[in-house]
Chains A and B, each alone.
Chain A
Amino acid sequence: MLLDVKDIHKTYATADGPFEVLRGIGLTLDAGETLALTGESGSGKSTLLHLIGGLDTPDRGQIMLDGVDIAALDDNGRADLRRGTVGVVFQQFNLIPSLKVSDNIAFQARLAGRYDPDWLTVLADRMGLTPQMGKYPEQLSGGQQQRVAIARTLAPKPRLVLADEPTGNLDEATASVVMDLMLELVTVTGAGLLMVTHSDALAGRMQRRLHLRAGQVA
């Protein structure tokens, strides 16, 4: 089993006092498997994704990734995890504006020390980004930017891909194309995919689906 999440709790401090976002969530995912995480705004799905991605730490519970409990890792350990094992695709793309497309795509692979020019060429080609390689992110459309972000995430061939509303900023047609590409490439690399979305259409294209309500599995 690639991912085994058990009994996760997470509380945030807010202006109105503490707010418990996650109340004992659990889930599992195998390599090559795709899972949609759906739910209302505030149901905790993004928070759960951040915890699995090592961007934040749970108050309680266990997140076993390849047999390692990432909830117990320190800051450096989680940075290692983000660099190589897990890749995150954000809704806001989070590209580095001062780097060209080619450098953005290569960036995470370089960080992880897994720079493979051939694989990057394949990725760029499949994403249809080859003509854009010399441009800067601000010169691209939203769909193109998200394709760059996906290519960047897949460049170091992560074991687990996490996507937080990856098509949330895109129109429907573009979203569909981007989604196709992402699913295709995840299959190629054999990684597991966990995607947060509130679109039923997108959720339907995943193998499994998990619905959250008020911090618990519905």
Chain B
Amino acid sequence: MNVRVWIFCLFPFAAFAQGFAGLGSDAEGFSIPTPDPAFDFPADHGPHNDYRIEWWYLTANLQAADGTPYGLQWTLFRSALAPEKGDGWRAPQIWMGHAAVTTPTAHHVSERLARGGIGQAGVVADPFEAWIDDWTLSGDWQTLDMTASGPTFGYDMALTARGPLVFHGDKGFSVKSAQGQASYYYSQPFFEIAGTLDLPEGTVAVTGNAWLDREWSSQPLADNQTGWDWFSLSFDDGAKLMGFRLQQTDGNSYTSATWIAPDGATTAFPDGAFTADPGETYQTKGGEVPVSWAVSLPAKGVNVTVDAINPDAWMTTSVPYWEGPVRVSGSHTGTGYLEMTGYE
């Protein structure tokens, strides 16, 4: 049997909420996020096994000496089969790693899957290390080292934080639907990044900026939500914008955004303040996706066009989606990353 079929069920970008969102825990015994969280670092950089899903999600906009733009992704997902504990092969944690490098003409993807409990993959909070096979992300969050490789690519990067952690929603409690589905969500969007990419055409030295997301939850989406479009934009003036749009079966959507000033001060925006409207589409291997978006946040005077640097950035992974670097123009200019799910 093909593992992909049920991996797809396990890793819910689209884990269309199993069970009713009660307080404290869901029907199967997983914890669920509650408002007004108090984070405890470095412990909270580590895994929260009593929640169903969790990720360490890093994207970076890079540039070579000759000006060529690149995109880079390093992601580790955790999915719990059960809230109980277990040892060795019986540990109920499944890990999935995705790594990608996007050039203007190519998109290299690799995926790793591993069981928890035997040391093949996992995350420890202090000293921080996240790994699956030979892919690692480790350091003290002021600096991080990161490696990954696939059959056609590899990279080795060093990251340095140039700003504070940023908390989305209400102090890190990020509401995902009108029914109250939510997650814990914080980011480090101020990484400077430098390193080398190993590509079929040769080794390339690159520099740029990276954005690391941390999010965990047990039921991130509501029943009627079919996917999302997520934007992380870094403007040339130093400000940043995180915004997402959750698509609903009725054609409407639920939006949320965080405005991040250059000093790290955040402003959270409720449903409707942020808009993203799809424009030109592109037929990828997996589905037809919009690769040009009109994005606005009128409260901050943002009215920009977001264009994919390489429209063919389809992730041919067990859970397929689109993820790639973008260019921003209009009222603000800059770069960023776009993730789109629910198009396959």
Find out whether A and B make contact in their complex, taking CB atoms under 8 A apart as touching.
no
Residues in chain A within 8 A of chain B (CB atoms): none
